[in-house]
Chains A and B, each alone.
Chain A
Amino acid sequence: MRSPRTRHWRREKSLPYLLLAPALVLLAGMVYPFGLGLYYSFTSYWLQYPNRFRFVWFDNYLSLIEEPLFVRALEFTLGFTLAAVVVQVGLGLAVALFLHGRIPGRSVIRALMLLPLMIPPVITALMWKIMMGSTNAGILNHMLSFLGVDPVNWFGSMQGAVVSVLIIDTWGNLPFVALILLGALQALPTEPYEAARVDGAGPAAILRYVTLPLLSPFIVLAVLFRTMDSLRIFDVIYATTAGGPNDATTNLQIMAYQYSFQWYQMGKGMAQAIVLLLLVVMVSYLLMRLWNRASESTS
Protein backbone atom coordinates (compact mmCIF):
# COMPACT_ATOMS: atom_id res chain seq x y z
CA MET A 1 0.00 0.00 0.00
CA ARG A 2 1.54 3.32 -1.01
CA SER A 3 1.36 6.08 1.54
CA PRO A 4 -1.49 8.50 0.99
CA ARG A 5 -0.87 12.00 -0.20
CA THR A 6 -1.67 14.25 2.70
CA ARG A 7 -1.02 17.61 1.09
CA HIS A 8 -2.92 20.11 3.15
CA TRP A 9 -3.11 17.85 6.21
CA ARG A 10 0.63 17.62 6.55
CA ARG A 11 0.70 20.67 8.78
CA GLU A 12 -1.18 18.73 11.41
CA LYS A 13 1.80 16.60 12.33
CA SER A 14 0.41 15.75 15.72
CA LEU A 15 -2.93 14.54 14.34
CA PRO A 16 -2.06 10.83 14.01
CA TYR A 17 -0.77 10.82 17.55
CA LEU A 18 -3.96 12.45 18.80
CA LEU A 19 -5.98 9.80 16.97
CA LEU A 20 -3.89 7.07 18.53
CA ALA A 21 -3.94 8.58 22.02
CA PRO A 22 -7.02 6.83 23.46
CA ALA A 23 -5.79 3.41 22.30
CA LEU A 24 -2.28 4.08 23.57
CA VAL A 25 -3.56 5.21 26.97
CA LEU A 26 -5.58 2.00 27.30
CA LEU A 27 -2.63 -0.14 26.28
CA ALA A 28 -0.28 1.75 28.56
CA GLY A 29 -2.68 0.97 31.38
CA MET A 30 -2.12 -2.70 30.61
CA VAL A 31 1.60 -2.51 29.88
CA TYR A 32 2.31 -0.68 33.12
CA PRO A 33 1.33 -3.72 35.23
CA PHE A 34 3.56 -5.81 33.01
CA GLY A 35 6.50 -3.56 33.91
CA LEU A 36 5.52 -3.98 37.54
CA GLY A 37 5.51 -7.74 37.02
CA LEU A 38 8.94 -7.63 35.44
CA TYR A 39 10.17 -5.89 38.60
CA TYR A 40 8.45 -8.50 40.80
CA SER A 41 10.30 -11.26 38.93
CA PHE A 42 13.48 -9.92 40.56
CA THR A 43 11.94 -9.99 44.04
CA SER A 44 10.97 -12.61 46.58
CA TYR A 45 7.33 -11.46 46.43
CA TRP A 46 5.22 -14.02 48.30
CA LEU A 47 1.64 -12.85 48.73
CA GLN A 48 1.16 -14.48 52.13
CA TYR A 49 4.44 -13.21 53.57
CA PRO A 50 4.60 -9.53 52.61
CA ASN A 51 7.38 -8.78 55.10
CA ARG A 52 9.74 -11.19 53.33
CA PHE A 53 9.67 -8.94 50.27
CA ARG A 54 13.15 -8.04 49.04
CA PHE A 55 15.05 -7.55 45.83
CA VAL A 56 16.85 -10.80 44.94
CA TRP A 57 18.32 -9.94 41.52
CA PHE A 58 18.36 -13.06 39.34
CA ASP A 59 17.71 -15.60 42.13
CA ASN A 60 14.24 -16.54 40.79
CA TYR A 61 15.65 -17.14 37.33
CA LEU A 62 18.75 -19.01 38.50
CA SER A 63 16.74 -21.26 40.83
CA LEU A 64 14.67 -22.39 37.82
CA ILE A 65 17.68 -24.19 36.36
CA GLU A 66 17.91 -26.39 39.45
CA GLU A 67 14.16 -26.97 39.58
CA PRO A 68 13.32 -30.41 38.10
CA LEU A 69 9.71 -29.40 37.40
CA PHE A 70 10.90 -26.44 35.32
CA VAL A 71 13.03 -28.67 33.12
CA ARG A 72 10.12 -31.07 32.63
CA ALA A 73 7.67 -28.23 31.98
CA LEU A 74 10.04 -26.74 29.41
CA GLU A 75 10.41 -30.14 27.74
CA PHE A 76 6.66 -30.65 27.70
CA THR A 77 6.04 -27.14 26.35
CA LEU A 78 8.45 -27.67 23.45
CA GLY A 79 7.52 -31.31 22.82
CA PHE A 80 3.79 -30.62 22.88
CA THR A 81 4.21 -27.64 20.56
CA LEU A 82 6.20 -29.72 18.08
CA ALA A 83 3.67 -32.56 18.16
CA ALA A 84 0.65 -30.25 17.92
CA VAL A 85 2.10 -28.28 15.00
CA VAL A 86 3.13 -31.39 13.06
CA VAL A 87 -0.22 -33.14 13.63
CA GLN A 88 -2.44 -30.11 13.09
CA VAL A 89 -0.64 -28.65 10.09
CA GLY A 90 -0.19 -32.10 8.51
CA LEU A 91 -3.84 -33.10 8.96
CA GLY A 92 -5.00 -29.57 8.18
CA LEU A 93 -3.17 -29.68 4.86
CA ALA A 94 -4.69 -33.07 4.09
CA VAL A 95 -8.19 -31.83 4.92
CA ALA A 96 -7.68 -28.67 2.83
CA LEU A 97 -6.49 -30.67 -0.19
CA PHE A 98 -9.39 -33.06 0.30
CA LEU A 99 -12.00 -30.29 0.47
CA HIS A 100 -10.40 -28.55 -2.51
CA GLY A 101 -11.44 -31.49 -4.68
CA ARG A 102 -15.02 -32.02 -5.82
CA ILE A 103 -16.49 -33.39 -2.61
CA PRO A 104 -20.21 -33.87 -1.96
CA GLY A 105 -21.43 -31.46 0.73
CA ARG A 106 -18.21 -29.45 0.77
CA SER A 107 -19.79 -26.14 1.74
CA VAL A 108 -21.69 -27.80 4.59
CA ILE A 109 -18.52 -29.42 5.96
CA ARG A 110 -16.68 -26.13 5.58
CA ALA A 111 -19.35 -24.23 7.53
CA LEU A 112 -19.55 -26.88 10.26
CA MET A 113 -15.78 -26.85 10.70
CA LEU A 114 -16.06 -23.27 11.93
CA LEU A 115 -17.94 -24.39 15.00
CA PRO A 116 -15.10 -26.18 16.88
CA LEU A 117 -12.91 -23.23 15.97
CA MET A 118 -15.12 -20.56 17.47
CA ILE A 119 -16.51 -22.05 20.69
CA PRO A 120 -14.53 -21.29 23.86
CA PRO A 121 -11.50 -23.63 24.16
CA VAL A 122 -12.43 -24.39 27.76
CA ILE A 123 -15.88 -25.50 26.58
CA THR A 124 -14.19 -27.73 23.97
CA ALA A 125 -12.17 -29.25 26.79
CA LEU A 126 -15.27 -29.90 28.91
CA MET A 127 -17.09 -31.48 25.97
CA TRP A 128 -14.24 -33.92 25.44
CA LYS A 129 -13.94 -34.48 29.15
CA ILE A 130 -17.54 -35.68 29.08
CA MET A 131 -16.86 -37.92 26.08
CA MET A 132 -13.65 -39.36 27.49
CA GLY A 133 -15.43 -39.53 30.78
CA SER A 134 -14.77 -41.96 33.51
CA THR A 135 -13.07 -44.98 31.97
CA ASN A 136 -16.18 -47.15 31.56
CA ALA A 137 -19.07 -44.87 30.74
CA GLY A 138 -17.24 -42.63 28.26
CA ILE A 139 -18.66 -42.74 24.74
CA LEU A 140 -15.19 -42.59 23.22
CA ASN A 141 -14.02 -45.81 24.86
CA HIS A 142 -17.33 -47.40 23.92
CA MET A 143 -16.78 -46.49 20.27
CA LEU A 144 -13.16 -47.65 20.35
CA SER A 145 -14.29 -51.02 21.74
CA PHE A 146 -15.94 -51.71 18.36
CA LEU A 147 -12.50 -51.35 16.80
CA GLY A 148 -11.12 -53.82 19.31
CA VAL A 149 -9.27 -51.17 21.35
CA ASP A 150 -9.11 -51.70 25.11
CA PRO A 151 -10.56 -48.91 27.27
CA VAL A 152 -8.11 -46.01 27.38
CA ASN A 153 -7.39 -44.35 30.71
CA TRP A 154 -7.63 -40.90 29.10
CA PHE A 155 -6.71 -38.54 31.90
CA GLY A 156 -5.46 -41.00 34.49
CA SER A 157 -2.21 -42.14 32.92
CA MET A 158 0.72 -39.91 32.00
CA GLN A 159 0.79 -40.87 28.30
CA GLY A 160 -3.02 -40.89 28.12
CA ALA A 161 -3.23 -37.36 29.49
CA VAL A 162 -0.72 -36.01 26.96
CA VAL A 163 -2.54 -37.72 24.08
CA SER A 164 -5.93 -36.50 25.36
CA VAL A 165 -4.79 -32.88 25.49
CA LEU A 166 -3.34 -33.23 21.98
CA ILE A 167 -6.60 -34.71 20.63
CA ILE A 168 -8.73 -31.99 22.21
CA ASP A 169 -6.45 -29.19 21.00
CA THR A 170 -6.41 -30.73 17.53
CA TRP A 171 -10.21 -30.92 17.36
CA GLY A 172 -10.42 -27.23 18.17
CA ASN A 173 -7.65 -26.01 15.90
CA LEU A 174 -7.46 -28.35 12.91
CA PRO A 175 -10.18 -26.23 11.23
CA PHE A 176 -8.00 -23.14 11.60
CA VAL A 177 -5.19 -24.68 9.53
CA ALA A 178 -7.59 -26.36 7.10
CA LEU A 179 -9.56 -23.18 6.42
CA ILE A 180 -6.45 -21.00 5.92
CA LEU A 181 -4.99 -23.51 3.47
CA LEU A 182 -8.31 -24.17 1.73
CA GLY A 183 -8.77 -20.44 1.20
CA ALA A 184 -5.22 -20.21 -0.17
CA LEU A 185 -5.74 -23.20 -2.47
CA GLN A 186 -8.87 -21.68 -3.95
CA ALA A 187 -7.04 -18.41 -4.67
CA LEU A 188 -4.03 -20.00 -6.40
CA PRO A 189 -3.35 -18.94 -10.02
CA THR A 190 -4.28 -21.51 -12.68
CA GLU A 191 -1.40 -20.89 -15.13
CA PRO A 192 1.22 -23.02 -13.31
CA TYR A 193 -1.22 -25.94 -13.31
CA GLU A 194 -1.92 -25.66 -17.01
CA ALA A 195 1.82 -25.49 -17.71
CA ALA A 196 2.48 -28.55 -15.54
CA ARG A 197 -0.29 -30.51 -17.26
CA VAL A 198 1.11 -29.59 -20.69
CA ASP A 199 4.47 -30.94 -19.47
CA GLY A 200 2.70 -34.21 -18.62
CA ALA A 201 3.05 -34.03 -14.82
CA GLY A 202 0.93 -36.48 -12.81
CA PRO A 203 -1.11 -35.55 -9.70
CA ALA A 204 1.74 -36.39 -7.30
CA ALA A 205 4.26 -34.30 -9.24
CA ILE A 206 1.80 -31.38 -9.47
CA LEU A 207 1.29 -31.51 -5.69
CA ARG A 208 5.02 -31.68 -5.00
CA TYR A 209 6.31 -29.14 -7.54
CA VAL A 210 3.37 -26.74 -8.04
CA THR A 211 0.87 -26.75 -5.17
CA LEU A 212 3.16 -27.05 -2.14
CA PRO A 213 5.64 -24.35 -3.24
CA LEU A 214 2.77 -21.96 -4.01
CA LEU A 215 1.17 -22.79 -0.70
CA SER A 216 4.34 -22.47 1.38
CA PRO A 217 3.78 -18.90 2.68
CA PHE A 218 0.38 -19.96 4.01
CA ILE A 219 1.78 -23.14 5.52
CA VAL A 220 4.42 -21.09 7.31
CA LEU A 221 1.71 -18.69 8.50
CA ALA A 222 -0.35 -21.59 9.86
CA VAL A 223 2.77 -22.97 11.55
CA LEU A 224 3.47 -19.52 13.04
CA PHE A 225 0.01 -19.14 14.58
CA ARG A 226 -0.23 -22.73 15.75
CA THR A 227 3.25 -22.63 17.29
CA MET A 228 2.50 -19.44 19.21
CA ASP A 229 -0.80 -20.80 20.50
CA SER A 230 0.59 -24.24 21.41
CA LEU A 231 3.48 -22.75 23.38
CA ARG A 232 0.90 -20.95 25.52
CA ILE A 233 -1.86 -23.59 25.72
CA PHE A 234 -3.66 -23.22 29.05
CA ASP A 235 -7.46 -23.48 28.95
CA VAL A 236 -7.65 -27.06 27.70
CA ILE A 237 -5.03 -28.36 30.13
CA TYR A 238 -6.49 -26.47 33.09
CA ALA A 239 -10.00 -27.81 32.50
CA THR A 240 -9.00 -31.44 31.88
CA THR A 241 -5.81 -32.52 33.66
CA ALA A 242 -4.79 -29.33 35.52
CA GLY A 243 -1.20 -30.27 34.67
CA GLY A 244 -1.32 -33.84 35.99
CA PRO A 245 -1.13 -36.67 36.46
CA ASN A 246 2.28 -36.49 38.07
CA ASP A 247 2.93 -33.16 36.25
CA ALA A 248 2.83 -34.96 32.87
CA THR A 249 0.88 -32.12 31.23
CA THR A 250 2.41 -29.19 33.11
CA ASN A 251 3.70 -26.64 30.64
CA LEU A 252 5.40 -23.35 31.51
CA GLN A 253 2.12 -21.45 31.65
CA ILE A 254 0.47 -24.00 33.96
CA MET A 255 3.62 -24.04 36.13
CA ALA A 256 3.69 -20.25 36.40
CA TYR A 257 -0.02 -20.36 37.25
CA GLN A 258 0.56 -22.91 40.02
CA TYR A 259 3.44 -20.96 41.52
CA SER A 260 1.57 -17.68 41.53
CA PHE A 261 -2.07 -18.62 42.15
CA GLN A 262 -1.85 -21.81 44.19
CA TRP A 263 1.27 -21.10 46.24
CA TYR A 264 1.15 -17.30 45.82
CA GLN A 265 4.87 -17.07 45.07
CA MET A 266 4.35 -14.13 42.72
CA GLY A 267 8.06 -13.43 42.22
CA LYS A 268 8.88 -16.94 41.09
CA GLY A 269 5.71 -17.26 39.03
CA MET A 270 6.49 -14.01 37.27
CA ALA A 271 10.06 -15.16 36.52
CA GLN A 272 8.62 -18.27 34.86
CA ALA A 273 6.18 -16.13 32.91
CA ILE A 274 9.07 -13.98 31.65
CA VAL A 275 11.02 -17.07 30.57
CA LEU A 276 7.97 -18.24 28.61
CA LEU A 277 7.60 -14.78 27.09
CA LEU A 278 11.24 -14.80 25.97
CA LEU A 279 10.74 -18.26 24.46
CA VAL A 280 7.68 -17.04 22.57
CA VAL A 281 9.52 -13.93 21.32
CA MET A 282 12.49 -16.01 20.13
CA VAL A 283 10.39 -18.58 18.31
CA SER A 284 8.10 -15.97 16.74
CA TYR A 285 11.14 -14.00 15.52
CA LEU A 286 12.52 -17.10 13.79
CA LEU A 287 9.15 -17.98 12.25
CA MET A 288 8.50 -14.39 11.10
CA ARG A 289 11.84 -14.46 9.24
CA LEU A 290 10.87 -17.76 7.67
CA TRP A 291 7.53 -16.28 6.65
CA ASN A 292 9.16 -13.24 5.04
CA ARG A 293 11.47 -15.53 3.09
CA ALA A 294 8.60 -17.81 2.02
CA SER A 295 6.38 -14.96 0.85
CA GLU A 296 9.28 -13.27 -0.99
CA SER A 297 10.17 -16.43 -2.89
CA THR A 298 6.63 -16.90 -4.20
CA SER A 299 5.68 -13.33 -5.05
Chain B
Amino acid sequence: MTSQAVSYQRSVRNVAIAAAAVLLLVWTVFPFVWILLTSLKSPGDILSVPPKFVFTPTIDNYAALVIGEQRGQYSSTRPDFPRFFLNSMIISLGAVALSVAAGIPAAYALARFTFPLKGALAFLLMSFRFVPFIAFVIPLYILYQRVGLYDTHAGLILAYQLITLPFTIWMLRSFFMEVPLEIQEAAKIDGCSWFGVLGRVILPLSMPGISVTVILGFMFCWNAFNYPLMLAGRQTFPVTVGAIQFISYEQVLWGQMAAATIVAALPQLLLSLMVQKYIVRGLTMGAVR
Protein backbone atom coordinates (compact mmCIF):
# COMPACT_ATOMS: atom_id res chain seq x y z
CA MET B 1 0.00 0.00 0.00
CA THR B 2 1.31 3.47 -0.82
CA SER B 3 1.63 6.08 1.91
CA GLN B 4 -1.02 8.14 0.13
CA ALA B 5 -3.54 5.31 0.43
CA VAL B 6 -2.68 4.87 4.09
CA SER B 7 -3.18 8.56 4.90
CA TYR B 8 -6.43 8.54 2.88
CA GLN B 9 -7.63 5.56 4.91
CA ARG B 10 -6.67 7.29 8.14
CA SER B 11 -8.56 10.47 7.31
CA VAL B 12 -11.68 8.46 6.36
CA ARG B 13 -11.38 6.77 9.73
CA ASN B 14 -11.04 10.10 11.53
CA VAL B 15 -14.08 11.52 9.77
CA ALA B 16 -16.11 8.44 10.69
CA ILE B 17 -15.05 8.74 14.34
CA ALA B 18 -15.90 12.44 14.43
CA ALA B 19 -19.27 11.77 12.82
CA ALA B 20 -20.07 9.08 15.40
CA ALA B 21 -19.04 11.42 18.24
CA VAL B 22 -21.28 14.17 16.88
CA LEU B 23 -24.16 11.71 16.46
CA LEU B 24 -23.79 10.54 20.07
CA LEU B 25 -23.63 14.13 21.28
CA VAL B 26 -26.73 15.17 19.33
CA TRP B 27 -28.68 12.09 20.49
CA THR B 28 -27.83 12.94 24.11
CA VAL B 29 -28.23 16.70 24.11
CA PHE B 30 -30.74 17.57 21.39
CA PRO B 31 -33.86 16.66 23.45
CA PHE B 32 -32.76 19.13 26.15
CA VAL B 33 -32.12 21.84 23.59
CA TRP B 34 -35.46 21.30 21.87
CA ILE B 35 -37.43 21.31 25.14
CA LEU B 36 -35.65 24.50 26.22
CA LEU B 37 -36.61 26.10 22.89
CA THR B 38 -40.20 24.84 23.19
CA SER B 39 -40.47 26.26 26.70
CA LEU B 40 -39.63 29.70 25.29
CA LYS B 41 -42.19 29.60 22.48
CA SER B 42 -45.67 31.07 22.25
CA PRO B 43 -48.52 28.59 21.55
CA GLY B 44 -48.57 29.59 17.88
CA ASP B 45 -44.86 28.94 17.40
CA ILE B 46 -45.12 25.56 19.14
CA LEU B 47 -47.72 24.27 16.69
CA SER B 48 -46.14 25.72 13.57
CA VAL B 49 -45.42 23.35 10.68
CA PRO B 50 -42.52 23.01 9.94
CA PRO B 51 -41.13 23.43 13.49
CA LYS B 52 -39.39 26.74 14.10
CA PHE B 53 -35.80 27.09 15.25
CA VAL B 54 -35.89 30.88 15.04
CA PHE B 55 -38.67 32.71 16.86
CA THR B 56 -39.28 35.53 19.31
CA PRO B 57 -38.70 34.02 22.74
CA THR B 58 -41.21 34.58 25.51
CA ILE B 59 -41.17 33.80 29.23
CA ASP B 60 -44.96 33.40 29.28
CA ASN B 61 -44.72 29.66 29.90
CA TYR B 62 -42.52 30.09 32.95
CA ALA B 63 -44.69 32.93 34.18
CA ALA B 64 -47.70 30.65 33.77
CA LEU B 65 -46.02 28.04 35.94
CA VAL B 66 -45.59 30.55 38.73
CA ILE B 67 -48.81 32.54 38.59
CA GLY B 68 -51.01 30.10 36.68
CA GLU B 69 -52.18 32.42 33.95
CA GLN B 70 -51.12 33.25 30.43
CA ARG B 71 -51.57 36.79 29.03
CA GLY B 72 -54.52 37.49 31.29
CA GLN B 73 -56.25 34.23 30.33
CA TYR B 74 -56.55 31.59 33.00
CA SER B 75 -55.79 28.20 31.57
CA SER B 76 -58.35 25.49 32.13
CA THR B 77 -55.93 23.38 34.10
CA ARG B 78 -54.11 25.34 36.70
CA PRO B 79 -51.39 23.25 38.30
CA ASP B 80 -49.86 24.96 41.30
CA PHE B 81 -46.26 24.44 40.27
CA PRO B 82 -44.41 26.41 42.98
CA ARG B 83 -46.23 24.30 45.54
CA PHE B 84 -45.27 21.09 43.70
CA PHE B 85 -41.63 22.20 43.70
CA LEU B 86 -41.77 22.88 47.43
CA ASN B 87 -43.46 19.49 47.97
CA SER B 88 -40.65 17.75 46.09
CA MET B 89 -38.12 19.52 48.32
CA ILE B 90 -39.92 18.70 51.57
CA ILE B 91 -40.53 15.04 50.73
CA SER B 92 -37.08 14.38 49.27
CA LEU B 93 -35.19 16.10 52.09
CA GLY B 94 -37.39 14.46 54.72
CA ALA B 95 -37.02 11.01 53.21
CA VAL B 96 -33.23 11.32 52.91
CA ALA B 97 -32.86 12.67 56.46
CA LEU B 98 -34.88 9.77 57.87
CA SER B 99 -32.97 7.24 55.77
CA VAL B 100 -29.57 8.57 56.80
CA ALA B 101 -30.54 8.71 60.48
CA ALA B 102 -31.69 5.09 60.44
CA GLY B 103 -29.14 4.00 57.85
CA ILE B 104 -25.88 5.09 59.53
CA PRO B 105 -26.14 2.69 62.49
CA ALA B 106 -27.54 -0.08 60.25
CA ALA B 107 -24.73 0.31 57.71
CA TYR B 108 -22.17 0.36 60.55
CA ALA B 109 -23.59 -2.92 61.86
CA LEU B 110 -23.45 -4.53 58.42
CA ALA B 111 -19.95 -3.22 57.68
CA ARG B 112 -18.16 -3.96 60.94
CA PHE B 113 -19.96 -6.68 62.89
CA THR B 114 -20.56 -10.36 62.32
CA PHE B 115 -23.86 -11.75 63.45
CA PRO B 116 -26.26 -14.48 62.39
CA LEU B 117 -28.47 -13.71 59.37
CA LYS B 118 -26.20 -10.83 58.31
CA GLY B 119 -25.91 -12.11 54.74
CA ALA B 120 -29.64 -12.76 54.47
CA LEU B 121 -30.42 -9.29 55.78
CA ALA B 122 -28.06 -7.60 53.32
CA PHE B 123 -29.64 -9.60 50.50
CA LEU B 124 -33.15 -8.69 51.65
CA LEU B 125 -32.21 -4.99 51.58
CA MET B 126 -30.74 -5.36 48.09
CA SER B 127 -33.88 -7.07 46.83
CA PHE B 128 -35.94 -3.92 47.52
CA ARG B 129 -34.15 -2.39 44.53
CA PHE B 130 -36.01 -4.86 42.29
CA VAL B 131 -39.50 -4.93 43.80
CA PRO B 132 -42.37 -3.83 41.52
CA PHE B 133 -43.79 -0.75 43.23
CA ILE B 134 -47.40 -1.72 42.51
CA ALA B 135 -47.18 -4.63 44.99
CA PHE B 136 -46.49 -2.09 47.75
CA VAL B 137 -48.56 0.83 46.62
CA ILE B 138 -51.95 -0.96 46.49
CA PRO B 139 -51.97 -1.94 50.18
CA LEU B 140 -50.28 1.34 51.17
CA TYR B 141 -53.07 3.25 49.43
CA ILE B 142 -55.74 1.29 51.32
CA LEU B 143 -53.88 1.67 54.61
CA TYR B 144 -53.09 5.37 54.13
CA GLN B 145 -56.75 6.14 53.41
CA ARG B 146 -57.67 4.49 56.71
CA VAL B 147 -55.02 6.03 58.97
CA GLY B 148 -55.02 9.51 57.43
CA LEU B 149 -51.58 9.39 55.82
CA TYR B 150 -53.01 9.75 52.30
CA ASP B 151 -52.04 13.08 50.70
CA THR B 152 -49.63 14.01 53.51
CA HIS B 153 -45.91 14.74 53.41
CA ALA B 154 -45.30 12.31 56.28
CA GLY B 155 -47.00 9.48 54.41
CA LEU B 156 -44.88 10.06 51.33
CA ILE B 157 -41.67 10.36 53.36
CA LEU B 158 -42.47 6.96 54.91
CA ALA B 159 -43.32 5.39 51.53
CA TYR B 160 -40.10 6.78 50.02
CA GLN B 161 -38.14 4.75 52.58
CA LEU B 162 -38.75 1.85 50.19
CA ILE B 163 -36.58 3.74 47.69
CA THR B 164 -33.99 5.43 49.89
CA LEU B 165 -33.45 3.26 52.97
CA PRO B 166 -32.07 0.10 51.28
CA PHE B 167 -30.04 2.33 48.97
CA THR B 168 -28.64 4.40 51.83
CA ILE B 169 -27.68 1.34 53.88
CA TRP B 170 -25.93 -0.36 50.95
CA MET B 171 -24.06 2.75 49.88
CA LEU B 172 -22.98 3.72 53.41
CA ARG B 173 -21.94 0.13 54.11
CA SER B 174 -19.69 0.14 51.04
CA PHE B 175 -18.13 3.47 52.11
CA PHE B 176 -17.72 2.37 55.76
CA MET B 177 -15.99 -0.80 54.60
CA GLU B 178 -13.38 1.34 52.85
CA VAL B 179 -12.22 2.79 56.19
CA PRO B 180 -9.08 0.77 57.02
CA LEU B 181 -9.61 -1.70 59.86
CA GLU B 182 -6.23 -0.72 61.34
CA ILE B 183 -7.50 2.75 62.23
CA GLN B 184 -10.56 1.26 63.90
CA GLU B 185 -8.39 -1.18 65.87
CA ALA B 186 -6.06 1.64 66.93
CA ALA B 187 -9.01 3.66 68.18
CA LYS B 188 -10.25 0.65 70.11
CA ILE B 189 -6.88 0.16 71.77
CA ASP B 190 -7.04 3.82 72.77
CA GLY B 191 -10.25 2.94 74.59
CA CYS B 192 -12.94 3.99 72.13
CA SER B 193 -16.32 2.33 72.51
CA TRP B 194 -18.26 1.24 69.40
CA PHE B 195 -19.94 4.62 69.54
CA GLY B 196 -16.60 6.41 69.68
CA VAL B 197 -15.32 4.41 66.71
CA LEU B 198 -18.41 5.34 64.72
CA GLY B 199 -18.44 9.01 65.71
CA ARG B 200 -14.70 9.73 65.78
CA VAL B 201 -13.30 7.40 63.12
CA ILE B 202 -15.83 6.04 60.64
CA LEU B 203 -18.08 9.06 60.17
CA PRO B 204 -15.35 11.70 59.75
CA LEU B 205 -13.39 9.47 57.36
CA SER B 206 -16.43 8.64 55.23
CA MET B 207 -17.84 12.17 55.08
CA PRO B 208 -17.39 12.37 51.28
CA GLY B 209 -19.22 9.05 50.93
CA ILE B 210 -22.04 10.23 53.17
CA SER B 211 -22.43 13.41 51.10
CA VAL B 212 -22.57 11.38 47.90
CA THR B 213 -25.18 9.08 49.44
CA VAL B 214 -27.28 12.03 50.56
CA ILE B 215 -27.15 13.70 47.15
CA LEU B 216 -27.94 10.52 45.22
CA GLY B 217 -30.71 9.59 47.65
CA PHE B 218 -32.19 13.05 47.20
CA MET B 219 -32.05 12.62 43.41
CA PHE B 220 -33.81 9.24 43.53
CA CYS B 221 -36.57 10.79 45.66
CA TRP B 222 -36.84 13.72 43.28
CA ASN B 223 -37.25 11.26 40.38
CA ALA B 224 -39.98 9.24 42.13
CA PHE B 225 -43.24 9.29 40.27
CA ASN B 226 -45.25 6.14 40.89
CA TYR B 227 -45.57 6.25 44.69
CA PRO B 228 -46.74 9.89 44.79
CA LEU B 229 -49.03 9.28 41.79
CA MET B 230 -51.12 7.00 43.99
CA LEU B 231 -50.39 8.24 47.52
CA ALA B 232 -50.32 12.03 47.03
CA GLY B 233 -53.16 14.42 46.30
CA ARG B 234 -53.20 17.98 44.98
CA GLN B 235 -51.79 19.26 48.28
CA THR B 236 -48.68 17.09 48.16
CA PHE B 237 -47.95 16.37 44.47
CA PRO B 238 -44.22 16.55 43.70
CA VAL B 239 -42.97 18.08 40.41
CA THR B 240 -42.95 14.71 38.64
CA VAL B 241 -46.67 14.23 39.13
CA GLY B 242 -47.24 17.97 38.71
CA ALA B 243 -45.69 17.98 35.25
CA ILE B 244 -48.25 15.54 33.81
CA GLN B 245 -51.09 17.77 35.01
CA PHE B 246 -50.55 19.84 31.87
CA ILE B 247 -52.15 17.03 29.89
CA SER B 248 -55.91 17.23 30.22
CA TYR B 249 -58.79 15.79 28.27
CA GLU B 250 -59.31 19.05 26.38
CA GLN B 251 -55.73 19.87 25.45
CA VAL B 252 -52.05 19.49 26.13
CA LEU B 253 -50.39 22.71 27.24
CA TRP B 254 -47.13 21.95 25.42
CA GLY B 255 -45.29 25.15 26.29
CA GLN B 256 -46.08 25.03 29.98
CA MET B 257 -45.30 21.32 30.07
CA ALA B 258 -41.91 22.03 28.47
CA ALA B 259 -41.22 24.74 31.04
CA ALA B 260 -42.28 22.36 33.81
CA THR B 261 -39.97 19.60 32.58
CA ILE B 262 -37.05 22.06 32.49
CA VAL B 263 -37.77 23.20 36.04
CA ALA B 264 -38.27 19.60 37.26
CA ALA B 265 -35.03 18.43 35.63
CA LEU B 266 -32.87 21.41 36.64
CA PRO B 267 -31.86 20.29 40.16
CA GLN B 268 -30.97 16.87 38.74
CA LEU B 269 -28.80 18.37 36.02
CA LEU B 270 -26.83 20.42 38.56
CA LEU B 271 -26.55 17.64 41.15
CA SER B 272 -25.55 14.94 38.68
CA LEU B 273 -22.56 16.99 37.57
CA MET B 274 -21.54 17.32 41.23
CA VAL B 275 -21.54 13.58 41.93
CA GLN B 276 -20.72 12.31 38.43
CA LYS B 277 -17.94 9.99 39.61
CA TYR B 278 -20.33 8.13 41.88
CA ILE B 279 -23.50 7.84 39.80
CA VAL B 280 -22.81 4.35 38.44
CA ARG B 281 -21.90 3.18 41.93
CA GLY B 282 -25.13 4.64 43.25
CA LEU B 283 -27.33 3.15 40.55
CA THR B 284 -25.93 -0.33 41.18
CA MET B 285 -26.15 0.10 44.98
CA GLY B 286 -22.39 -0.04 45.28
CA ALA B 287 -21.94 -3.18 43.13
CA VAL B 288 -19.81 -1.32 40.56
CA ARG B 289 -17.14 1.11 41.75
- Using a CB–CB cutoff of 8 Å, the interface residues on chain A facing chain B are 1, 3-6, 8-9, 12-13, 15-20, 22-27, 29-30, 33-34, 36-37, 40, 47, 95, 98, 101, 103-105, 108-109, 111-123, 126-128, 130-131, 133-134, 136-139, 142, 171, 175-176, 179-180, 183-184, 218, 221, 225, 228, 231-232, 234-235, 238-239, 252-253, 256-257, 260-261, 266, 269-270, 272-274, 276-277, 280, 284
Contacts and interface: CB of A to CB of B under 8 A. Distances in A.
Contacts of A122: 225, 240-241, 243-244
B113 A6 contact: yes
B108 interface: yes
16 contacts: A4-B112, A4-B114, A22-B106, A34-B135, A36-B142, A95-B24, A113-B28, A118-B279, A122-B243, A123-B261, A127-B32, A130-B254, A234-B226, A269-B138, A270-B138, A270-B139
Q: Is the interface of B mostly helix, strand, loop or mixed?
A: helix
A16 B284 contact: no
B165 A114 contact: no
Nearest to A112: B28
Nearest to A94: B20
Contact of A26 (B38, B48, B102, B226): B102
Given A22-B102, A40-B139, A121-B223, A171 B27 contact: yes
A127 B35 CA distance: 6
A118 B32 CA distance: 13
Contacts of A25: 102
B223 A20 contact: no
A34 B136 contact: yes
B34 to A, nearest CB: 6
B129 to A, nearest CB: 8
Contacts of A118: 219, 223, 268-269, 271-272, 279
B105 A19 contact: yes
B234 interface: no
B165 A130 contact: no
Interface in B190-229: 194, 219, 222-226, 229
B187 interface: no
Contacts of B264: 119-120, 123
A1 to B, nearest CB: 6
A29 B129 CA distance: 17
B115 A16 contact: yes
A120 B244 CA distance: 12
B281 to A, nearest CB: 9
B181 interface: yes
A128 B222 CA distance: 20
Interface centre among B127, B254, B280 (most CB of A within 10 A): B280
A16 B128 CA distance: 21
Nearest to B32: A115
Given A15-B194, A280-B131, A171 B24 contact: no
Interface string B166-193: 1001000000010001001100100000
Interface of B: 17-18, 20-21, 24-25, 27-29, 31-32, 34-35, 38, 46-51, 98, 101-103, 105-106, 108-110, 112-115, 118, 121, 125, 127-136, 138-143, 158-159, 161-162, 165-166, 169, 177, 181, 184-185, 188, 194, 219, 222-226, 229-230, 239-241, 243-244, 254, 257-258, 260-261, 264-265, 268-269, 271-273, 276, 279-280, 283-284, 287-289
A240 B258 CA distance: 14
Contacts of A276: 132, 134-135
B114 A6 contact: yes
A113 B161 CA distance: 28
A109 B134 contact: no
B254 A30 contact: no
B143 A36 contact: yes
B279 A280 contact: no
A30 B224 CA distance: 17
Given A120-B268, A123-B265, A266-B138, A115 B28 contact: yes
Contacts of A171: 27, 31
B226 A176 contact: no
Contacts of B127: 284
A183 B289 CA distance: 8
A4 B280 contact: no
